[in-house]
Amino acid sequence: MPLFSTRLCVFFIMLCALPAWAQDWQLKYHHQGLKLFKGEKNFLGIRQYKVVLNVSATADDFINLLLTTDKAHLWIAGCERVELIDQIDEFNHKVNIYFSSPWPIKDRQLATYSVIQKHSDKHYTITIRRLDEPGIYENDYVAIPYFNAHYTLEQNDEALTITYQVSGSAGGDIPNWLANKILKQNLLKTFKNLKKQLSN
């Protein structure tokens, strides 16, 4: 579900809440260049997470993948499809992300607005927030009510370091313990898939 807002989006189940980028993080997973950290619970009781991935790729490789909407389902966990709403310019995108869920959980929809900032050839940041516009959400899906995410891309001579922090809520009547479990599983799956895509 590329297209900058998209991949970021992908993170339906990468949701947590309230931008608490400055907080204590507990390392919960570390394997082959992939780290997952657990943060505090947001105001909805959902965990905030941070993922750090080191991969042999360039920032351009990652950006190109994010912008390739029809490849989103290959790496974003649970992503059914991503549809472009509006491309304001090369740095600002609005997209719809649709997530399929196992029964009995209802499928989700998330509309996002993403902003890409190039600070230098070796440093990018991408900010994604939930988009709320009249008529944008469909009745056949549960609208994800809160989403706030942030990417940092740092390039060095040997690898690209991708740092992702997310906060949000899946919405609906999913109990917090299950939402937290799914969130962690999908984050790990997404970034393992991402590593494969960038390594191809």
| 5-199 to CATH, choices 1.20.1250.20, 2.60.40.1180, 3.30.1330.10, 3.30.530.20 | 3.30.530.20
Distance CA 163, CA 161 (A): 6
Burial label for 166, CB within 10 Å (0-12, 13-18, 19+), is buried
Q: What is the pLDDT of residue 10?
A: 43
Any idea where the domains of the chain sit in the sequence? 5-199
Whole-angstrom distance, CA of residue 195 vs CA of residue 62: 10
Q: Looking at residue 71, what is its pLDDT? A: 92
Tokens 């509309």 sit on residue: 111
Which pLDDT belongs to residue 172?
A: 85
Predicted confidence at residue 22, as pLDDT, reads 53
Angle at 113 between CA 150 and CA 129, to 5 degrees: 45
| Tally of residues, the chain | 200
87-117: burial string, b at 16+ Cβ within 10 Å, e else: eeeeeebbbbbbbebeeebeebbbbbbbebe
Q: What is the pTM of this model?
A: 0.85
Ranges under pLDDT 50 in the chain: 1-21
pLDDT at residue number 49: 92
Residue 99: DSSP 8-state: E
